[in-house]
Amino acid sequence: MINDIKKEAGDRMQKCIDSLKAALAKLRTGRAHAGLLDHLTVDYYGSEVPLSQCANVVVEDARTISITAWEKNMTSVIEKAIMKSDLGLNPSTAGTIIRIIMPPLTEERRRDMAKIVRGEAEGGRVAIRAVRRDANQDIKELAKEKVISTDDEKRGETEIQKLTDQFVAKVDELAAAKEKELMSL
């Protein structure tokens, strides 16, 4: 029973890590990467679809993203979706190819982005601690119902704490790597 609780907690903590990775991928650094546009949706004949389902997104070089629409009439729709997004990017269109040139970040903007990274990381830590709290409550319920012994309860809480420490360390690693990426020129 404790192993089931531990496994479920581990799965939920991994989802917290995956969510943090997705949030950090959206943060714009000076470099181009295709993941920057993953969350964009475009109006494709009356329904909102992800950009990747109606165009090919490729990184041409360190500062340029190239988007090729699968249908010629979608080029202007994709361009408008990029302009309306919160990314602050200005696409330029040449026929059916849309190019986005990533502007370099100023030092002040880099510091602001680093603060955002730290905030996202703290949100990840809080989510992981919430999973720990839920798992510990489940263990306490089992002990209260006399399904497990007090020793098993303590061992289970210790195992959950070790799991929590591992995942918090992953959050710290991800945040440190993203900050380093932001601060490097």
Give the pLDDT confidence of 152-174 residue by residue, as tens digits. Answer: 889 999 999 999 999 999 999 99
Q: What is the model's pLDDT at position 96?
A: 82
Q: Which domain holds residue 176?
A: 2-26+106-183
Percent of the chain with pLDDT over 70: 96
What would the DSSP string read from start to end of 145-165? TTSS-HHHHHHHHHHHHHHHH
**Which of 52, 73, 101 is a domain's end point?**
101
Residues 22, 110 within the same domain: yes
Rounded Cα distance between 3 and 84, Å, is: 47
Task: Say yes or no to pLDDT of 129 above 90.
Answer: yes
User: How many structural domains is the chain composed of?
Assistant: 2
The residue ranking higher by pLDDT, 35 or 173, is 173
How do beta strands 91-94 and 97-101 pair? antiparallel
For residues 20-41, average pLDDT: 77
Contacts of 40 (CB under 8 A, 6+ apart): 50, 51, 81, 82, 85
CB 175 within 8 A of CB 121: yes
Task: Say yes or no to pLDDT of 15 above 80.
Answer: yes
The CATH number of the domain where 75 resides is what?
A: 3.30.1360.40
